[in-house]
Chain A
Amino acid sequence: MKKLLYALLIAASASIFAGQAHAQVIVIANPGVKATEISKSDLRDVFTGNATSLKDGTRVVPILLKAGTAHEEFLQVYIGKSDSAYRAGWRSLVFSGQASMPKNLDPESAVVEFVAHNAGAIGYIGKATPHEGVKVIAVK
């Protein structure tokens, strides 16, 4: 019984910490993007190539991180795929002529720089990364 309670405590703690870790990724967009929030499903559609615009009609261009903690968290929380499966999905679209491969940038400051200066750009970074010149989009 003690072992079970202990295991449950560990699991609960892990889920709390995991929830906190999920909050460490923020979605950023070019200031010209009108939306201030986006649904999870719309965000997933944009970053999997299923959509090229938001609900308000604004055309958006997804910008990816090459690797890193923020990238892994973004995939886990919003896409639900591993990095290799995610990139394979994009390549499937490219090789069937349905999309162009989104830009992959590194480090996070390069994502901020690109998003700030390119109309319609939307990306993701760690919460602690300086992000002057871009707007943060809330994910609901």
Chain B
Amino acid sequence: MFNKYVASGTLAILGLSVCLHAQEFKIGNKDVQVHGFGTQGYVKTNDNNWLTMNTSDSGSGAFTDAGLNIGSQITSTLRVGGQVYDRKLGQLGDWHPLLDWAMADYRPKPWLGFRAGKVKTVLGLFTDSQDMDFANTFALLPQSVYPIDLRDASIAHLGGDIYGREKLGHNLGSIAYTAYGGRRSDNMHSGYPYLLSGLAGIYMTSYGGPVFGGDLRWNPPVRGLTVGMSRLNEMITGKGSYDGKLGIPAQPHYQENSKHDWTNQYYGRFVKEKLHAESEYRRYLRDQIIFSGLSWVETDIRGWYVGGGYQVNRWVEAGSYYSHYRIFPSGGAGVATSYPDAQTHDFDKVVTAKLTLNQYITVKVEGHFMDGNGSALYPAGFYSNVNPSGFANNTNALVVRTGFSF
């Protein structure tokens, strides 16, 4: 598994980086830019299979993603563009390419802009940039706040944004705001449908619904400091079929709906020359009617992290974070709500070394030391589908990830 995926993927990255540079050409008199990125990773755990990969034997290289975008500044106030994204993360993604975003962006004033189409969602510091391996210190962002297996849940919405940025008077810095509304529509090759298929015998065919929210961030008159908060409200409907696995009669037309579904996220980041430090807190409350009205489930998920990195020299950056995840589950008929402590938390201590070979290629080597597996009732990286014998309480993981961008 290591040889098949990792060697070929890494060689592809190195080869592509030699011959690929950002492409720019003209259509009429308009410049059109093409950019891309790709990563190849390898994960080995000492126990438990992680992120739907078979990581506990010889490790797994089923950890690849790539994106390609095209864009053009039509006028000084109007830009258009789009991006296609594809990935394989163990059993997720599975090489089903997605339209990641595609929008028109009209910004007549610095304090007032409009985006419409499929738009990346602004939620916390890194939701809209979580795929950009080149921009992040870590091979995996803190999973308590940015679960890679649930990328589809918050990455983008089909709708519109109003946004802007304005300097404040009296030397109070500047603020930036985003308000959005639209619709979320999850890829069926993502973590939640995969969890339900193994855990509950529920096979989703659609999952999504209206979303709206906003973000407000302040850059105070301390250079490099950003603080802010985000809010996301959703009204999600999932449809599919249920095979009767949990004792509730089978339902060929299964449905679940949100009663309440919201996320609050608070964050702060400080960047000064070679150093960056950041911390975020996310609370995700999900209260649903399930089994077509016969039962209910509530998951109150609280995650936070604190971390940072330091550029040791022009090639090497060292980083570390502590990620803290807790889930508080409750529910009605057919819903297990009592779990061993290890299944209701995941405390992850992480150390990373990032090597920047040139402006196109990065390599990261990262260690994860996880206390708990957070596997109660909602995806948190550990799935019964690939751990049929149950879960060990703790997991250590080595993650190596190479990436290119142009």
Contacts and interface: CB of A to CB of B under 8 A. Distances in A.
A binds B: yes
A91 B134 contact: yes
B405 interface: yes
Interface stretch (B42-50, B101-109, B291-299, B383-391): B101-109
A85 B72 CA distance: 24
Interface string B90-131: 000000000001010101001000010001100000001101
B135 A91 contact: yes
B interface, size bucket = 35 or more
**Main secondary structure on B side of the interface with A:** strand
B224 A80 contact: yes
B223 A100 contact: no
B311 A95 contact: no
A34 B79 CA distance: 24
B135 A80 contact: no
Nearest to A98: B105
Contact of A85 (B22, B33, B165, B311): B311
Given A52-B76, A80-B273, A84-B356, A91 B405 contact: yes
B122 to A, nearest CB: 9
Interface residues of A, number: 26
Given A88-B134, A91-B134, A97 B405 contact: no
Interface in A42-91: 50-53, 59, 80-85, 87-89, 91
Contact of B314 (A41, A80, A82): A82
A101 interface: yes
A51 B165 contact: yes
Given A92-B132, A95-B131, A80 B223 contact: yes
Contact of A91 (B35, B79, B110, B273): B35
Contacts of A95: 35, 37, 67, 69, 83, 129, 131-132, 405
A87 B37 CA distance: 14
A20 interface: no
A51 B165 CA distance: 8
A53 B110 contact: yes
B73 interface: yes
A103 B405 CA distance: 17
A92 B35 CA distance: 11
Contact of B35 (A50, A83, A101): A101
Nearest to B163: A98
Contacts of A98: 105
Contact of A51 (B110, B224, B405): B110
A139 interface: no
Contacts of B69: 94-95, 97
Given A52-B110, A82-B314, A88-B134, A94 B359 contact: no
A100 B105 CA distance: 11
Contacts of B67: 95
B134 A100 contact: no
7 contacts: A91-B132, A91-B405, A95-B37, A95-B67, A95-B69, A96-B120, A98-B105
Given A91-B135, A95-B405, A120-B76, 19 more contacts: A52-B110, A80-B271, A80-B272, A84-B359, A87-B359, A88-B132, A88-B405, A92-B135, A95-B37, A95-B83, A95-B129, A96-B101, A96-B129, A96-B132, A97-B119, A97-B120, A100-B73, A100-B79, A101-B22
Interface of A: 41, 50-53, 59, 80-85, 87-89, 91-92, 94-101, 120
Q: Can you list the 8 inter-chain pairs with the closest CB atoms, starting with the nearest?
A: A88-B135, A96-B128, A92-B135, A59-B76, A96-B120, A92-B129, A84-B356, A100-B73
